[in-house]
Structure 1
Amino acid sequence: MNPTGLLEVTAVRRPTPRTVRVTFTGAGGWESWPDQQLKLLFPPAGRPVRLPAGDNDVMRWYQAYLAIPEDERPVMRSYTVRGRDGETIDVDFVLHSDAASDGPATSWARRAAPGDVLGRYGPDAAYRRPVPKADTVLLAGDETALPAITTLLSEVDNAVVFLEVPDAAEEQPLPGNIRWLHRDGAEHGAKLLAAVRGAKFRDGSVAAWIAGEAGMVRALRRHLMGERGFGKGDIEFSGYWRRKLTQDDAPTPEDLADAAEKLASQGG
């Protein structure tokens, strides 16, 4: 599969007040797996998307991306495939309550319409993460983790699921017994951490998959490892976003430590 290509919008809808679900065509020839990550390339306003030269080597591709003049270079953001049907995929964009706080991706999503075109890189099987295996699997995250958890539930039938969302209007139909946690103005991640701390698991092995805001993920991992006795290899984790920072900002020392621990747990 060519790592670089175009995706065209065929439908846009609002499953919840703060979620824009965009359907794209152009996914032919992809292998599909749970928690599939995709890099979307958003063109500058008023310009068509300009793609780097296709190359199966990610570093050469990234150098070609950086070589595009800054005023023509698309903004790159990572998203999870929410669902797939043949050559079409759904991607969910979580909106801020205040449009003035939107970044380039969510700003694009607010005005997305059929016929719009984005670039993409991937999905790359090198970044495929294993589905946790245990007698009980804890799936926990905020609203940005909801698409990935949806796909994981197609593979995991012994999951205990905790999802923190802004309010009751952001709940979505999901299979299984989902514990929905409504922030309703509380600090991001506080209710999720409290719920996981209070969770009781049945006898047997327990593994975890956690994702969402990086600081929240870090706190959950500390609880699971420090208070529950989980090993590093028992937890799959990903910090999708950082409060007050974007994907363009330099990684913090905590981000670098998380990345090193993830590589170590995966034998990298």
Structure 2
Amino acid sequence: MTDVDNLFDLSGRVAVVTGARRGIGLAIAEALASAGADIIAVSAGLEPSGSEVEKRVRALGRSFQGHRVDFADRAAVAAFATELAGTPVDVLVNNAGTIRRAPAAEHSDEDFDHVLTVDLSSQFVLSREIGRGMLERGRGKIIFTASLLSYQGGITVPGYAAAKSGIAGLTRALANEWAGRGVNVNAIVPGYIATDNTQALRDDPTRGPAILERIPAGRWGRPEDFAGVAVFLASAASDYVHGALVPVDGGWLGR
């Protein structure tokens, strides 16, 4: 008989969570720590000490490391991966991201390139480098943060839509290569979540109510809504799940 409790136990595992300073990343880091994982948190603006994520992880009795890395700088991301070379990473959560809003006809090259670097290219660099160690050990879990715009085009966010569509393809591409070598690669697909990234939408007197009306669950998502799916994808419970994009969207894609 399967021991269900052990399926979700992350004791002794090391998890790297990018974009962990706030929002979804913070909630995922806390959830993985609650399941037993030690946390290496990464964010462009992470405080050297005393961050909220550090407080929550340490309160759960898990070890914590914090790193400040600019995901707009691929060389910095590669250097961070090299720094981790001696640490066996069991779980990598690629959650760092950014968004720039402007109509497509006015969307600058700088904004487009910046979003693609942060949301896609740097995610690949980190996954490639950490994934190499996972392949050598024959096990590991990589979790991307995709988006509803991995399926849809959005409005006034062409760079973000392109990057998140790329994340969907990258998830499947890595899964195709690595599933048979013990490494699971999957993605979480957030819907409309009440975080800093969606503040402008929630404040918009037209789009805010229109979005809310379309969500079958009747509310915007919250960062804590990602705790369960993150632990599932990081644990033995998902050992036969590869290349999946798991929506956490209040039913948006089903409507």
Where is the helix percentage greater, Structure 1 or Structure 2?
2
| TM-score, normalised with respect to structure 1 | 0.25
| TM-score, normalised with respect to structure 2 | 0.26
